[in-house]
Each structure stands twice: as C-alpha cells, then as structure tokens.
Amino acid sequence: MTLAMAGGVSVAAQATAVASSGSATVRAAADTCAYPYVCFFKNGVKIGQFKDVTSTWQNLPSKPSGPGLVVQNTRNDDVAYIRWSGGATTCIPPKSSFTVSSGTLTGVRISSAATC
C-alpha cells in the first residue's frame, strides 16, 4: 500500500482520538515503521504502510478502527492526514504518532507541507 496525507486537525464528533508521543505502543510502532513511511498498527501489528505524496486521498481498504489503532508518521518534513468515516480529518506532524481510541478511518494522504 502507499498512502498520502495532508491537512489540519479536525476530530470527528463520533470519534475519540488521543495524540501520543511517549507511550510503549508508539515506541513499538516506531521501531517497526521505517522512514519514509506512514504506518498503521492495530494492537501492535502493522496492517498497512504508505509513502507516496499525493494530492488526493488514498482509501484504506480495511477501514481500521480504534481502540488499539496507531498511525505512525516517520517522515522528516511531510505531514500525514487521516480521514474519519464521517469525513473529518486529522493532521499528524512529521516524526509523530496518533492513537485512535475509537472511530473508523477511511483514507490517508501524505502532504509535502512541513507543518499542519
């Protein structure tokens, strides 16, 4: 899979998400997600990875949902956007992770923008 993300932060009303930077789950994800990928982990198992910068959304075929879902952006200068089933988006800055505690993701986009 190849994923692309971009955009600002907008959390869907039906979904609860928690930004993460120091949890064991995030560290484990970072250990198995190599640069320049944006990886998706469900309960610590990698379920997808994307690396292409695109101007459009890439659909997530598995429609992953929380809890136990972590999105890891290993890129140095590119943000990654995730799209929720309700259409809202969340931006994940470079070199960071995002933990989805509830809600379903439907798309990803990597943008060459360095900041959300």
Name the residue ranges covered by the structural domains of the chain. 17-111
Tokens of 51: 């690396």
Q: Which listed CATH number (1.20.1460, 1.10.10, 2.60.20, 2.40.50) goes with 17-111?
A: 2.60.20
pLDDT score of 23: 47
Residue 19 pairs in a beta bridge with: 98
pLDDT score of 32: 85
pLDDT score of 93: 98
Phi and psi for 84 in degrees, rounded to 5?
-85, 160
CB-based burial, 55-65: b 16+ in 10 Å, e otherwise: eebbebeeebb
- Coil/strand/helix, residue 72: strand
On the CB side of 43, how many CA atoms lie within 13 Å of its CA? Answer: 0
Nearest Cα residue to 45 out of 20, 68, 75, 15? 68
User: Which residues of the chain carry a pLDDT beneath 50?
Assistant: 1-26, 29-30
Return d(Cα 80, Cα 95) in angstroms, integer: 10
Tell me which DSSP letter residue 48 carries.
E
pLDDT score of 31: 59
Nearest Cα residue to 25 out of 39, 9, 14? 39
